[in-house]
Amino acid sequence: MTQSFISSKPIPANERLIMALDLPSIEQAQKLVEELGDSVVFYKVGMELFMCGDYFGFIEWLKQRNKKVFVDLKFFDVPATVGRAIAALSQKGVDLATIHGNDAIMEAAAANKGDLKVLAVTALTSLDRGDLDDLGFQCDVRELVLSRAKRALAIGCDGIVSSGLEVSMLREQLDNKLLVITPGVRPVDNREDDDQKRVVTVEAAFQNGADYIVVGRPIRDAANSKAMAETMQAQIAAQFS
């Protein structure tokens, strides 16, 4: 039997599902949030919504409805700029935010995060070995993820974003110290036409050690989005019962 690394962090089971609001307008995002109702507590707002209008007004709208917010903008710039951006974001009531880049960038973010939890991106779930070759990374995906996770922990980041395929390795190497947020999660095995290449099911993500999962299209594109969210919440609850 494969070893289980199920999370022991005191996170309510219904908050472990983060819904990705990858939609072309604030209005559509609000409509989906209202449709999902109490089936989802935590939302990811990323670059697509950032370009669509009143991004921070929408965050406030979510907070007024007692939702948790994950800002996924993957801040990447000179360290001083990232530090100031994270300091400003920490005043917005946001719960999680992503950064990208080297040690100096992570250090600047960690020094300015306040109560905001900062997550370092390891390797995007849309990348595989061939993509890393194209980008000039002469290492295995797992080696890259582990290296970035170790550096993030040492520097003072709160967690990382990692494919569920690498999470068990991270738990073996780093124990339970970092928060691990796993995107690219599907309710069933991956379809051939999915552009996410390194994905896992809900059960596999949590058995491998994820603290949170990020789900977008399987809920957004379902015939009944709330029913799909409730199904996935039931799958999560079964892992922590």
| Cβ atoms 30, 45 nearer than 8 A | no
Cα gap 141→123, rounded to integer Å? 7
Could you tell me the CATH number of the domain that includes residue 149?
A: 3.20.20.70
Asked if residue 18 belongs to a domain, the reply is yes
Count of domains forming the chain:
1
- Structural domain of residue 134, as residue ranges? 13-239
Residue 74 catalytic?
A: yes
Asked if residue 3 belongs to a domain, the reply is no
pLDDT of amino acid 136: 58
Asked if residue 2 belongs to a domain, the reply is no
Asked if residue 151 belongs to a domain, the reply is yes
Chunk the chain into consecutive blocks of 10 residues (it has 241) and report each block's average pLDDT, rounded to whole numbers.
Answer: 85 98 97 98 97 96 98 96 98 96 94 97 58 56 84 95 88 90 76 53 94 96 97 96 88
Asked if residue 203 belongs to a domain, the reply is yes
Asked if residue 19 belongs to a domain, the reply is yes
Alpha helices per DSSP H over 102-224: 103-111, 129-135, 141-155, 164-174, 202-208, 217-220
The catalytically annotated residue of 63, 74, 117, 226 is: 74
Model confidence pTM above 0.85: yes
pLDDT of amino acid 194: 45
> Environment class of residue 36 by beta-carbon count within 10 Å: exposed (0-12), middle (13-18) or buried (19+)?
buried
pLDDT of amino acid 141: 72
pLDDT of amino acid 145: 82
Cα gap 84→148, rounded to integer Å? 22
pLDDT of amino acid 31: 98
